Structure 1
Amino acid sequence: MTSAPIRILVVDDEPPIRKLLRTGLGAQGFDVEEAPNGAEARRRMARKPSPDLVILDLGLPDVSGQDLLRDWRAAGDLTPVVILSSRTDETGIVEALELGADDYVTKPFGAAELMARIRVALRHRLQIQGERAVFTLGELSVDLVRRIVKLGDREVKLTPREYEILRVFVQNAGRALTHDHLIRQVWGVSVEVQNLRVHVAQLRQKIEADPERPHYILTETGVGYRLRAPDQ
């Protein structure tokens, strides 16, 4: 007996985009549903069982993607949501991530990038609660129980603040994290974004072979940062 295919709801008002996603995701074995506007998206999300993942355009003709996401999260719906956005809409992307979106891709987008974002979002949904004892990414390993960070066999000494930033990255590996999200998780109070940037720069100095061309901690321009996922 085979398991049911993963169902993805594509919410986008552009027929060519929906066709592209329907064809590409269908070829990967996903069951694709479509909604050309917010009203249809609401109807489909209200059905049971709901989709396993939503690909959501922010610019819909009847309602903003942010409003849809806000309503779903307020109702307790934790279905993973991957945002579609134009490259210039950084403010909208940040707002969507703050509202609970799992990730985003920008238009135009590549199939490989989109699949990577979908895999990460689904993995977070299916992930068993609790932390893995040791996170490994290339030469980097982080023991979340003993709070030990290593590059290969060499232990890396971090300040408490640097470790907390890295811990949040590890717990969200592969996901784009906004500046505000990181500040709330690490400081608990409002601090200047420049303070975060300084600490991330110091962390990169300690774990990156070339801090100017980071391999582990990637910058999401206008949004925040992302720790590379282990399978990327």
Structure 2
Amino acid sequence: MRILLVEDDHRVAAALTAALTRRGYQVEHAATVAAALCAAPCDLALLDLTLPDGDGTDLCRELRRRSSQLGIIAVTARGEERDRVLGLRIGADDYVVKPFSMVELQARIEAVLRRAAHAAPERNRIEVGPVQIDVAARTVRIHAQEVMLTRKEFDILLSLARQPGAAVPRDRILLDVWGTTFADRHTVEVHIGSLRGKLGDPRVVETVRGIGYRLRNG
């Protein structure tokens, strides 16, 4: 998961970048409105509303105009009620007032990403290589043969199938399936092992060392 951190205080940005990276996120830092507008696509933006080259509220409006699916959390020292209301009205999904703890920020990030994932349109049928998934019926076939999966196994497979051929981080799987990144990562490994056994070919789900797992696209 990619996070765009828009923060002009370089010490704060460095600390947040380090903390978020330890939690498995890819972080791009932008210290200005101009840099934020040129940044690569991301899943979520942490947005300071006070920036040296413009108003963060205008940036928030522009980011929301570009993408209705982007998660946006305003991270700012402006704690008055009118500021919080304005932040939400211009397109932010949540509002965090400085100072804050990483535990609180992490919980808010997870909540926003969950809402964004549920709001995104879901294809009813997904085919990746020999794997066929009927999302509505929650059934799986491999080489046209139906495979019986538990609810967690199905959700893990669906998380991988949404990004066929791409390496999906363990934290992304935890968030999709368990709704949090605080769960024991060993739990993912156990369920992946069971999923591979039921699919009948361990090569269908590949381990990407240091990152997570990939559903082979061919």
TM-score by length of 2: 0.52
Gapped regions of structure 1 (runs ≥ 5):
1-5, 131-229
| 1:85–1:93 contact (8 Å) kept in structure 2 | no
Q: Distance in 2 between matches of 1:75 and 1:19?
A: 27
Per the alignment, residue 16 of structure 1 pairs with: 11
| 2:75–2:95 contact (8 Å) kept in structure 1 | yes
Per the alignment, residue 88 of structure 1 pairs with: 79
How far does residue 72 in structure 1 lie from its aligned partner after superposition?
A: 2.2
Per the alignment, residue 169 of structure 2 pairs with: none
Per the alignment, residue 27 of structure 1 pairs with: 22
Q: Percent identity?
A: 37
1:37 matched to 2:28? The reply is no
Q: Deviations over 1:43-93 (max 9, x none)?
A: 00xx4xx11100000001111111011122234443110111115343222
Per the alignment, residue 207 of structure 2 pairs with: none
Per the alignment, residue 58 of structure 2 pairs with: 67
Q: Distance in 2 between matches of 1:129 and 1:75?
A: 15
**SS of residue in 2 equivalent to 1:115:** helix
Per the alignment, residue 92 of structure 2 pairs with: 101
| 1:51–1:79 contact (8 Å) kept in structure 2 | yes
C-alpha change, 1:26 and 1:90, in structure 2 (3 Å) is same
Q: Which amino acid aligns with 1:14?
A: D
**SS of residue in 2 equivalent to 1:19:** helix
Q: Deviations over 1:146-192 (max 9, x none)?
A: xxxxxxxxxxxxxxxxxxxxxxxxxxxxxxxxxxxxxxxxxxxxxxx
1:53 matched to 2:48? The reply is no
C-alpha change, 1:43 and 1:120, in structure 2 (3 Å) is same
Per the alignment, residue 136 of structure 2 pairs with: none
How far does residue 18 in structure 1 lie from its aligned partner after superposition?
A: 0.4
The count of residues paired between Structure 1 and Structure 2 equals 124
Per the alignment, residue 117 of structure 2 pairs with: 126
**SS of residue in 1 equivalent to 2:79:** coil
Q: Distance in 1 between matches of 2:95 and 2:77?
A: 10
Q: Deviations over 1:97-116 (max 9, x none)?
A: 01111101111110100000
Q: Deviations over 1:16-65 (max 9, x none)?
A: 11011111101101011100010000000xx4xx1110000000111111
